[in-house]
Amino acid sequence: MADHQHGYLHRKDDYLARLRRIEGQARGLQRMVEEEQYCIDILTQVSAMTKALQSVSLGLLDEHMHHCVADAARQGEDEGRAKIDEAVAAITRLVKS
């Protein structure tokens, strides 16, 4: 598996663009707090940023399941189970956050 490529690589530029937008949202939130903007407006922007991060997470998870987990399953039961366990742990972290 040394030559394994991550499933998201074909959309790497899309992910980077989305993360840069999220980074801009974070800077905007900092500016809103510095400018002492209305708390509900800040919370609205936090919600938008959270949704954007969740969208990136779900996209990466989808790529992982369709590429990495599927490849591991083709290699054998042990490899497939290990990747499934890894994915379940990641989903658990996402749900708890």
Amino acid sitting at position 15: Y
80 pLDDT above the threshold of 60: yes
Q: Which domains does the chain have, with CATH numbers?
A: 7-96 (1.20.58.1000)
Q: Is the pLDDT of residue 20 over 70?
A: yes
pLDDT band at 4 (very low <50, low <70, confident <90, very high): low
User: What is the rounded average pLDDT for all residues in the chain?
Assistant: 91
The pTM assigned to this predicted structure is 0.79
User: What pLDDT sits at residue 40?
Assistant: 97
Q: Is the pLDDT of residue 95 over 60?
A: yes
